[in-house]
Homo-oligomer: A and B are copies of this chain.
Amino acid sequence: MEIPNFASFEFMISKNQIQYIKSLSINKFRRTHREFIAEGPKIIDELINSPFNVKGIFAQAEWININGSALPNDTSITEVSEKELDRISNLITPNQVLAVIEMPENKKPPKTINDLVLMLDDISDPGNMGAIIRTADWFGIQTIICSENCVDIYNPKVVQATMGSIFRVGVHYENLEMFLSKNSSGKIVYGAFQDGKNIYQTALNKKSLVVIGNESKGISKDIIPYITDKVSIPAYTFSNRQSAESLNASIATALICAEFRRQSK
């Protein structure tokens, strides 16, 4: 497939552009072209105020009229009709604007741990990944290290679920075991386990790593030896009532991050 040349301002989207944009929903094509998409005024507003490189904006006239002047001079803008936007959109209700964005290089994570770093061990659900990035941003966590089997953060469902936080939080893909074997010596590595110490009764050290396990399998066997401190979020049960066996991965992450921040205030 030929990569279309984004012109500076066009009043029509080409077939070739439509095909190209649609291909970016698929990981293989994102990897080949190193570009991804984001949609909707709120997320695009965050994009414009980020260091990410916008390759093309496809928007309805109303959006361009209001926001066009805020875009960098070298942005290629294509005006699209509602129908055309619907053809390129991944949303059930397309929302005014779609951007094609350059994927940044996968930089190495910082070596010094000055603050909480999240490590995601095979998080596979796009909604969870997006919610984790958004939550990390809320709690001022700047670094997330993903295992190589985590869902791609440039998957459109992840991008949309971050609500723009993807443009602020540093996300790095690493072989977690190799990373931990090289970098975790002398450091605290927390992991959430059913039999861990009640997180609300543990003095948490924020210069640490926190490992979050896969949605159904939990933390990998190979990673467990690196965990120095097992913690747990206590369930609230009464009488003999049975309760949920576990929490959703993004919710567990949020509860852990919140407790770190609560304690350090």
List of B residues within 8 angstroms of A233 by Cβ: 258
> Measured between alpha carbons, how far is A134 from B243 in the docked complex, in Å?
9
Residues of chain B with a CB closer than 8 A to A164's CB:
244-245
B131:A248 contact, CB within 8 angstroms: yes
Q: Are B247's CB and A134's CB within 8 A?
A: yes
**Residue numbers in B under 8 Å from A200 (CB-CB):** 262, 265
A89 in the interface (beta carbon within 8 A): no
Count residues of chain A with CB under 8 A from any CB of chain B. Answer: 37
Binding site for B on A (CB under 8 A): 49, 127, 131, 134-135, 137-140, 161, 163-165, 168, 200, 233-238, 241-248, 250-251, 254-255, 258, 261-262, 265
Pick from B135, B237, B244: contact of A248, CB below 8 A.
Answer: B135
Q: Which residue of chain B lies nearest to A254 when distances are taken between CB atoms in the complex?
A: B251
Closest residue on chain B to residue A49 by CB atoms: B242
In the bound complex, what is the Cα–Cα distance between A135 and B253 (angstroms)?
Answer: 13
A138 contact from B49, B127, B244, B265, Cβ within 8 A: B244
Which single residue of chain B is at the shortest CB-CB distance from A139?
Answer: B236
Q: Pull 5 A–B residue pairs with CB atoms less than 8 Å apart, ordered by A.
A: A135-B247, A138-B236, A164-B244, A200-B265, A233-B258
B contact residues around A234 at 8 Å (CB):
261, 265
A261: nearest chain-B partner, CB-CB: B236
Q: Which residues of B contact A168 (CB under 8 A)?
A: 241-244
Q: Tell me, in angstroms, the Cα distance from A265 to B199 when the chains sit together.
A: 13
Considering the complex, give the chain B residue whose CB is closest to the CB of A126. Answer: B127
Which residue of B has the minimal Cβ distance to A140? B236
Contacts of A137 in B (CB 8 A): 243-244
Given A135-B251, A139-B235: 4 more A-B contacts, CB < 8 Å = A131-B248, A234-B261, A250-B250, A251-B254
